[in-house]
């Protein structure tokens, strides 16, 4: 079990550029979550997948954000036309999906800095 991995770990970009992050969940996990964490705050839910289906999106997920999980394995989160307010740690978590409130296992996060 290699745990949840995220790539890249750090991303610095200029305002207006597009960025894409990748999350590889634990291999047998069906559920995958994206959260955003800003400095001094707890993580905030962005979106959630059950296998390849995106089942819920937060109001935080503006139309500049899009997430995919094409084959029910890894997931990508894309931010178009980045803004300085997008600077944050983006966390991915996965869980087995076999019952209620499965334990979510978190990746190390991708820290985005928008200049």
Partner 1 sequence: AQTVTQSQPEMSVQEAETVTLSCTYDTSESDYYLFWYKQPPSRQMILVIRQEAYKQQNATENRFSVNFQKAAKSFSLKISDSQLGDAAMYFCALTTYGGSQGNLIFGKGTKLSVKP
Interaction site with partner 1 (CB under 8 A): 3-4, 31, 33, 35, 40-45, 48, 50, 55-56, 91, 93, 95, 100-109
DSSP string, 50-83: ETTEEEEE-TTS-TTEEEE-TTSS-EEEEESS--
* In the complex, least distance from residue 13 CB atom to partner 1, rounded to whole angstroms: 21
Closer to partner 1 by CB, 11 or 82: give it. Answer: 11
Q: How many residues are listed for the chain in this entry?
A: 115
User: Residue 47: is the preceding peptide bond cis (ω within 30°)?
Assistant: no
Cβ proximity to partner 1: between 70 and 99 the closer is 99
Pick 49 or 79: Cβ nearer partner 1:
49
């Amino acid at each position: 079990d290699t745990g949840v991995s995220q790539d890249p770990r750090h991303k610095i970009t200029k305002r207006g550029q597009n960025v894409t992050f990748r999350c590889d969940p634990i291999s047998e996990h069906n559920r995958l979550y994206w959260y955003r964490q800003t400095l001094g705050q707890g993580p905030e839910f962005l979106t959630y997948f059950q296998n390849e289906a995106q089942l819920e999106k937060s109001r935080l997920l503006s139309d500049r954000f899009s997430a995919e999980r094409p084959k029910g394995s890894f997931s990508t989160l894309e931010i178009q036309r980045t803004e300085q307010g997008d600077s944050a740690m983006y966390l991915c978590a996965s869980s087995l999906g076999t019952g209620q409130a499965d334990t979510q296992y978190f990746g190390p996060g991708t820290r985005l800095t928008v200049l």
